[in-house]
Structure 1
Amino acid sequence: MKFTFVFLFVLVNGCLLFGQSTFTGSVIDVSTGLSVPDVEIIAFPNHLITNTDAKGNFTFQRISFPFTIQVRHIGYKEELKTIQREDIQPYIITLTPVSIPLSEINILEDLAQERKNPVSFSSISAVTISTDLGDRPLPEILENTAGLYASRDGGGSGDASVMIRGFGQENIAVLLNGVPINGAENGLVYWNNWIGLTEAAGSIQIQKGIGASKVAMNSVGGTINIVTKKQSMHKSALFSYNLTDYGNQKATFIYNSGQLKNGSSVSLLVSRTTGQGYIDATYVNGWAYYLNINKQLTKKQYLSFTMLGGPEKHGQRNLKLSKEEIDHFGYKYNKDWGSLNGELKNTSENFYHKPFISLNHFYTPDINTTIANSVYFSPGWGGGKWSDSFIYGPGIFDFRNASGQLDWDSIYQYNRANQSTFVLDNGDTVSGFSKLVQTDFLANHLWAGWVTNIEKEFNPDTKLITGLHYRYFSSTLTEKVSDLLGGQFYIDDYSWSLAGVAGRNQIKKPGDIIRMQNGALLHQINVFVQLEKKTEKANLFLAGTISNSTQSRHDVYNYPDDKWSAKVNKSGFDLKGGINYNFSATQNLYVNGGYFSKVPYFKFIFGNFTNVPVQNIQNEKVTTFETGYGFKNEKVNIIANAYYTLWQDVSFLSNEYIQLENNQMTRAMVNGLDATHIGIEFQANYKFNDKINTGAFLSLGNWKWSNDVEARLFDDNDQLVDTVQVYAKGLYVGGQPQFQSGIFLNTIVLDFFHIKYDIRYNTRNYAMFDPTQRTTKDDNTQSLLLPSWFVSNIRLQIPLNLFQNEMLIYANCNNLFNTHYILKGEDGSTHDMDTFRGFWSFGRTIDVGFKLNF
């Protein structure tokens, strides 16, 4: 009923829109000629508000002539312009810098600029994020980027992954306002922890290859730089609401104080997300908040405080599915849950809260020097549901009913009927204990760090940037009993502990720790320097970074009397450089290259799951080169590039952070792999006029593993069960289609009805190889090649004025033709669909919503 009401609301309001026009323009810095993003523009007398996008362009969707615009942005002189005629488009606005220039405020963010930085990049605006994303996780807004693949994987709210040029998230730098937010232990990004970024993001820039960041050491595939919204110079508020056809809904309120008399400004965001989810048992209940306070201290100093977070709980689908299960139970099937007393009970649930707090200070002691400092603090607490079985008894996933769901009644009966006895270490004999319990896997941590940048301009053509990034990280991983599932207590026999029982109580009740109590302590520091040189036609940069990491592990479960490991100290470095040459007003050519020696993540250094570090583990080495060509005029924007990356001494862990389905499954810890990634990318846009523009993208990769290695196999209790030879040489890298292409069309019909349509084609998508299934030298069969697919989306937007307030009504239809395809998965023993396990896509989904500015 709610969905029908909102949809009718969208249609009925379309009749209010005739008699007004669209007005477009751009904003540039008069001193540099470069575009200025995130500029706030207010149109009077109707008080309409918009912002420039990442390329400095802006649009008023519904406006009547004549009107006056007020242009205000920190670091620039305010401008007032009166627009008399409709034919003066696009309208160019020039801003004059005052006090601290915007470029100096942005030096921490490491954003690339067209025809300047010799890297491949693309940008997504705040408007696109807020209207096109809907209920999808944040990475999916990047899906029309050449060489990038985003997927929802299990289908839970925020459960997503992204790959660039065949490299996974742990080898992609994800930055928030220039600060890395990849996990220090493992490099992963849990997007559900950053649910607040969806509304707080002012822009997202994807930099492929070496990127422009000076603090990111893991940008093998590329960098995703998320920049939060800048301060609004005018008092305003916004309310938005989004509703999907499967019941998920989000309500958001944003308040901007505008610039106050004391020179400060405040922005506040609060949002609420609830729903049952598209996939069975993937319910969501979450909040998000964002607070930004800015203060111009003096003409030379500026202060910015940011806090954001998103406490949430959502059901998950972690167990991969077979084609047989999909055919029998359907595409929404989730075998992680069952029904108990008429209520849903899931074994896979995530609950977490990770605030992020930062304080940035910018200082310009003279016209040629800028000093920027950022301190940040980010705790995290929560975890996910897990389970544990006594000794080698049946696991929780072994109890299923005819409908394919977990049979909770049988699990309770199994525990209640247990007649076994057990002799404790103290000699007592006990009975009535549960042989299977549900637990909470808790992962609490604390990040804190400091980033400093010093930028010195020796002359108009030469600039030196130097600084450092220090990061502190500590974590504690524990497993606690949460539900005895019918028994009176549980027993931890400590058979998996290196110390044995060691006098500890073996009787466990809800809230008691079992099996795991360990964590990490890391100190990381990067020192960087970058030299930039420009001539009339060329921009050159050379950069280097030296890094040092001190890592130690604590483990109370295995070492109750001496929990700390020895400290492991490792150093790395990177060298990179490039040149961009503008050989005409419309054309440019760039070349870049780099060599990285990257310190392995904590999870690989302590890859034995004990306090004994892995011996002789090597730094990962990356050698990369890229060249690209760009053409841009008023109508056409073309970017083409080719890249080569040699990746050596790679480590990875299979089945990471998911509970294994049965006692026969293992996790494989692999070290020393090599891979070669070669590819070409092409992206083009063509603007017919102010109402029609279209574009296309294409990426073709050839990514292969190039050697055989040894792997250690661990069971679900982190016990080493075997060491095997893995024959991976010649296998294609899986997880991302090696051929991707797409076409989009944006048009305005009847001067008010905005339509966006895109279609993508993906092929050469290989299953990820399972090290445990590649132990035979004669087995040189490629991993399963997954079926190719087309997928289309259509988006409708209707801007209008409601009682002198700007309003936008929109509707999105994702997967228009209801195509079901395989996102990704793991190859099986026979390398065909019979033994493949993976995740299939969502079908057609629709969401509608509105945004009201007032």
Structure 2
Amino acid sequence: MKKITRLLFLAGAFMFTAFSMAQTVVTGTVMDAEMAAPLPGANIVEKGTTNGVSSNFDGEFSIITQSTEGEIVISFVGYTKVVVKFSGSTSLGNITLTPDNTLEEVVIIGSGVIDLAEDRKTPVAVSTITANQIREKAGNSDLPEVLKQTPSVQSVQAGGFGDGQMFLRGFDQTNTAFLLNGQPINGMEDGKMYWSNWSGVLDVANAVQVQRGLGASKLAISSVGGTVNIVTKTIDRREGGFVQQMVGNDNYIKSTAYYSTGVNEKGWSFGALFGYWQGDGYVDYTQGQGQTYYISVGYQPNDNHALNFMLTGAPQWHAAAGGNSISKYLDPEKNNGRGRRFNDWNFSGANSDNNLHGGVYPGGRNIYHKPVANLSWDWTINDKSELSTVLYGSMGRGSFAQAIDNDRNGIIEYVRGSNNNHNWYGLVTNYNNQLTETLNFNVGADVRLYNGIHFRDVREFVNPDINSVSASSGYSGNYELTQAGGINPWTVFFDPNTDHSQRFGYDYEEQINYAGIFTQLEYSKDQLSAFFQGALSNQSHVRTEFLNTSTPGKGEEGGKVNNIGYNLKAGAAYTITDMHKVFVNAGFYSRQPFHDILYVNDRASNELYNPEIENQEITGLEAGYQFGGEKIQANLNLYHTTWAKRTLVDNNGLDGDEYVGEQTFGVKQVHMGVELEVFTQPLNNLRVNGFLSLGDWQFKDSAILREFDEDGNQIGDDQVVDIDGYDVGGAAQVTAGINASYEFLPRLSVDGAWNWYNDMYSTGALDQPTLAMPSYDLVDAGLSYKMLLGENGRNSLQFRLNINNVFGEVYLESVNGNMAASMNPEENYKGVNISNTGRFGYGRTWNTSIRFNF
């Protein structure tokens, strides 16, 4: 018996020894390249197996591998994966992960309704700006300025805070779709974007993706030029936050604080950001002030469900810059030596508690507060299907407050508010199913309910001798306005003027309801992928008049209209090798007209145009080539977009004492071009990127001009207007840029960017050709430094300096008008007649910030 026991013991010891000799233990520490600190919670997996572990609080890991030789894959949400070879038991030392330059895995909640290019194997023309780039470049600018380093994008800064405009492939932002976590945010009535309402969005953005042309979105949205997808924070994996202080030119200051609890053991997380800013503005008398708030609550009860509630808003007011002829900016006697800073839309000597700069009162101010809330739910049904839903709502309250001087004596009597309030609720849901290994299918719905409320009232009595204003109404004759609604965005939001008897000029509401369905089928096998998308929607409109009615205070509904719209998109891609891919996409949109051009006189009449305005037709064709090397990547895109059956409406016309509305029908534009985008990293600490966009954008054929009376009846016959060959104005048709960053010491880097704009044309009426504008180029520069603090460098101080338009380039940014160049050279500026209305771009501006990360 003893011999048998001894034999079994020796056999067991031998087997244990053999097993121990076969075991391989690989250790290491995962580090965050940006923070130069340990990265807890990283995933460490033996390649080709399900064998894996996670790094501990100090970033350390130890994994027993199933093979003595192989590869370890280290990954973390929002970071580029690293693959490291091992042979036998070994320590890999520090493995550094850098933030990913794409959006892959950044979005955690609501990802199914956020149409990102990375989510689809068939590519589109796209550029992605990451959180780190936004943080460094945004400064005291709006989103369009951050995007100007991408092909076919031009930012026009305009006059005051938040008044900037963005053009994409020559289309303005009313014809570019903007999405916030998959939620459409263009104005439902007119497609407009007011960046002053979204001044805090860059503080909470994880990334912004610009999809040019057809894009990846499945919604039947108002996209002609492309889609800009803004992806905000939702759930942070780790506890932490930051405090930041920024100062800039013209007395600009901004303070921001953010904190996130990370995800606790029960799956809950909380994040909040609060900020305050104010400044005088680059243009004279364009002061502004505002706040930013963001609150996020997440809950992950298990691996199959994730919910997140987000509330964000940016209450603000800012003074506006008036428009002037180019000659006024150029003549020191007319502009008091202020040049491009000149702004004469203001009043001096006004008696008010809200005077600015020692008695100067702004001629116009934008005052608005628009909180946006959404509830997102991701449900992983099984390993092949999932459902994502976002329920959202926003309540906009505010007005354009214009100083009124009826006696023309320089003394303001009161401030008139042109109020544009709204209640907007919507739902976007998407079901995704991996049908087979090669086929992926999804289907969803998009519902929007919108109520717009528009009226004029008194915002403030400025002259102490005036405490009421006489007005007239179609239902009650003359009456007195005695209430002032205020000019504080918080007051305007919580105490809006709901008394119809205190409104004048116009008072109406509109109900716009939208319901759509969309679907996509994508095929992928080996080197080939292809997709088909389709969307169908109905948009209904009804207008209710309150001012010109037979019964005081009772609304009367006008004509109703329903418009069916749809889009169809298809594309295919072929991967030649790991480094080379080609693709081609095509699409057609039947787009419903905006509400604001359906009615004859939107501020005084419920009458619809007769004949009715037709849907617009957009046809897009694009092809592309992608090159992905180790040190260089490049994207080459070709596009051709036809925008037909476009209608332009002028509801403000007068012929003598009679109202005449104009409708230019059947306008056609063709935009075509080539875009090249190159990313290089010649050295580990040097990045050099560049782009070139060559565009040819023209109006084609002829259009039809119709005139209407105030009841919507056509006056006279159709008039043919020849527009063939006119260049499309507003943005440069040829742009180029180079940007580089160099880290010459650990965590100390400099960067610079050069942008060139050429082939620019004015905007104006279509009865004459647009005007050629002078080209210009701008140089921006920046400096960054990060100081590590605390144990293991988990905390840090981050310094940033931005200088825009380093050399103070003087350039015409926009021109509105068609007056041809004069024979007298003194009446022209670089070939443009100075009688035209225009605006010069900003001179040298700067901002610097210090940020404590914890």
TM-score, normalised by the number of residues in structure 2 = 0.80
Name the counterpart of 1:632: 628
Quote the offset at 1:319 in angstroms: 2.3
Quote the offset at 1:728 in angstroms: 2.9
1:366 is paired with a residue of what secondary structure? Answer: coil
Correspondence for 2:126 among 109, 121, 124 = 121
Quote the offset at 1:159 in angstroms: 1.2
Q: 1:515 is aligned with what amino acid? A: G
Correspondences of 1:491-530 after superposition (within 5 Å): 491-494=470-473, 501-511=474-484, 512-530=502-520
Correspondence for 2:770 among 761, 776, 783 = 783
Change in 2 beyond 3 A, CA 1:470/1:816? same
State the distance in 2 between where 1:172 and 1:701 align: 17
The answer to whether the 8 Å contact 1:115/1:588 transfers is no
Correspondence for 1:450 among 427, 435, 440 = 427
Name the counterpart of 2:9: none
Name the counterpart of 1:55: none
The answer to whether the 8 Å contact 2:670/2:697 transfers is yes
* Corresponding position: 1:822 with 2:824: no
Quote the offset at 1:325 in angstroms: 3.1
Name the counterpart of 2:349: 340
The answer to whether the 8 Å contact 2:609/2:713 transfers is no
Name the counterpart of 1:573: 566
State the distance in 2 between where 1:842 and 1:230 align: 35
Q: For residues 132-190 of structure 1, what are the alpha-carbon distances to aligned partners after superposition, in whole Å with 9 as ceiling and x for unaligned?
A: 11111122100011111111112x11111111111111111100001110111111111
Quote the offset at 1:284 in angstroms: 1.3
The answer to whether the 8 Å contact 1:76/1:101 transfers is no
Name the counterpart of 2:3: none
2:577 is paired with a residue of what secondary structure? Answer: coil
TM-score, normalised by the number of residues in structure 1 = 0.80
Change in 2 beyond 3 A, CA 1:460/1:748? same
Change in 2 beyond 3 A, CA 1:703/1:27? farther
Change in 2 beyond 3 A, CA 1:347/1:28? farther
* Corresponding position: 1:748 with 2:764: no
Correspondences of 1:197-208 after superposition (within 5 Å): 197-208=201-212
* Corresponding position: 1:134 with 2:139: yes
Name the counterpart of 1:584: 577
The answer to whether the 8 Å contact 2:42/2:55 transfers is no
1:143 is paired with a residue of what secondary structure? Answer: helix
Quote the offset at 1:294 in angstroms: 1.1
* Corresponding position: 1:268 with 2:253: no
The answer to whether the 8 Å contact 2:670/2:700 transfers is yes
The answer to whether the 8 Å contact 2:80/2:99 transfers is no
Kindly tell me the number of residue pairs found equivalent between the two proteins: 742
The answer to whether the 8 Å contact 2:708/2:714 transfers is yes
State the distance in 2 between where 1:30 and 1:339 align: 70
State the distance in 1 between where 2:79 and 2:758 align: 47
The answer to whether the 8 Å contact 1:668/1:714 transfers is yes
State the distance in 2 between where 1:691 and 1:245 align: 31
Change in 2 beyond 3 A, CA 1:110/1:810? same
CA RMSD of superposed structures (Å): 3.9
The answer to whether the 8 Å contact 2:601/2:661 transfers is no
* Corresponding position: 1:106 with 2:111: yes
State the distance in 1 between where 2:778 and 2:280 align: 24
State the distance in 2 between where 1:787 and 1:638 align: 30
Quote the offset at 1:600 in angstroms: 0.4
Name the counterpart of 1:440: 417
* Corresponding position: 1:800 with 2:800: no
The answer to whether the 8 Å contact 2:740/2:752 transfers is yes
Q: For residues 582-615 of structure 1, what are the alpha-carbon distances to aligned partners after superposition, in whole Å with 9 as ceiling and x for unaligned?
A: 1101011010000110010101112432211122
Q: 1:695 is aligned with what amino acid? A: N
Name the counterpart of 2:703: 709
Name the counterpart of 1:599: 592
* Corresponding position: 1:235 with 2:223: no
1:279 is paired with a residue of what secondary structure? Answer: coil
Q: 2:601 is aligned with what amino acid? A: N
State the distance in 2 between where 1:83 and 1:612 align: 78
Quote the offset at 1:387 in angstroms: 5.6
* Corresponding position: 1:698 with 2:692: yes
Q: 2:532 is aligned with what amino acid? A: L
State the distance in 2 between where 1:75 and 1:687 align: 18
Correspondences of 1:302-701 after superposition (within 5 Å): 302-328=306-332, 329=335, 330-341=339-350, 342-386=358-402, 399=408, 408-409=410-411, 438-482=415-459, 483=461, 485=463, 489-494=468-473, 501-511=474-484, 512-561=502-551, 563-609=556-602, 610-615=605-610, 616-653=612-649, 670-701=664-695
- Which segments of 5 or more consecutive residues in structure 1 lack a partner in the other structure? 1-19, 34-39, 47-68, 400-406, 413-436, 495-500
Q: For residues 630-651 of structure 1, what are the alpha-carbon distances to aligned partners after superposition, in whole Å with 9 as ceiling and x for unaligned?
A: 1011101111111111111112
Identity %: 26
* Corresponding position: 1:167 with 2:146: no
Quote the offset at 1:288 in angstroms: 0.4
Q: For residues 260-291 of structure 1, what are the alpha-carbon distances to aligned partners after superposition, in whole Å with 9 as ceiling and x for unaligned?
A: 23211111100101121111111111010111
Q: For residues 345-376 of structure 1, what are the alpha-carbon distances to aligned partners after superposition, in whole Å with 9 as ceiling and x for unaligned?
A: 11210111101100011112221111111110
Quote the offset at 1:196 in angstroms: 1.9
The answer to whether the 8 Å contact 1:794/1:816 transfers is yes
Change in 2 beyond 3 A, CA 1:513/1:669? farther
Q: For residues 35-70 of structure 1, what are the alpha-carbon distances to aligned partners after superposition, in whole Å with 9 as ceiling and x for unaligned?
A: xxxxx9998489xxxxxxxxxxxxxxxxxxxxxx99
The answer to whether the 8 Å contact 2:80/2:97 transfers is no
Bigger shift: residues 702-711 or 586-595: 702-711
Q: For residues 683-713 of structure 1, what are the alpha-carbon distances to aligned partners after superposition, in whole Å with 9 as ceiling and x for unaligned?
A: 1011112201102111111111114334578
Correspondences of 1:46-61 after superposition (within 5 Å): none
Name the counterpart of 2:728: 733
State the distance in 2 between where 1:752 and 1:92 align: 15
Q: For residues 510-563 of structure 1, what are the alpha-carbon distances to aligned partners after superposition, in whole Å with 9 as ceiling and x for unaligned?
A: 543111101210110111111011011122110000010111011112334452
Change in 2 beyond 3 A, CA 1:566/1:199? same
Name the counterpart of 1:848: 848
1:441 is paired with a residue of what secondary structure? Answer: strand
State the distance in 2 between where 1:142 and 1:280 align: 26
Change in 2 beyond 3 A, CA 1:560/1:354? farther
Quote the offset at 1:721 in angstroms: 12
Change in 2 beyond 3 A, CA 1:560/1:21? closer
1:583 is paired with a residue of what secondary structure? Answer: strand
1:408 is paired with a residue of what secondary structure? Answer: coil
The answer to whether the 8 Å contact 1:469/1:526 transfers is yes
State the distance in 1 between where 2:136 and 2:643 align: 38
The answer to whether the 8 Å contact 2:243/2:851 transfers is yes
Quote the offset at 1:466 in angstroms: 0.2
Change in 2 beyond 3 A, CA 1:783/1:710? same
Quote the offset at 1:665 in angstroms: 14
State the distance in 2 between where 1:529 and 1:21 align: 41
The answer to whether the 8 Å contact 2:729/2:761 transfers is yes
Change in 2 beyond 3 A, CA 1:43/1:124? farther
Q: For residues 816-836 of structure 1, what are the alpha-carbon distances to aligned partners after superposition, in whole Å with 9 as ceiling and x for unaligned?
A: 000121111212444642322
Change in 2 beyond 3 A, CA 1:126/1:677? same
Say which one has the larger Rg.
2
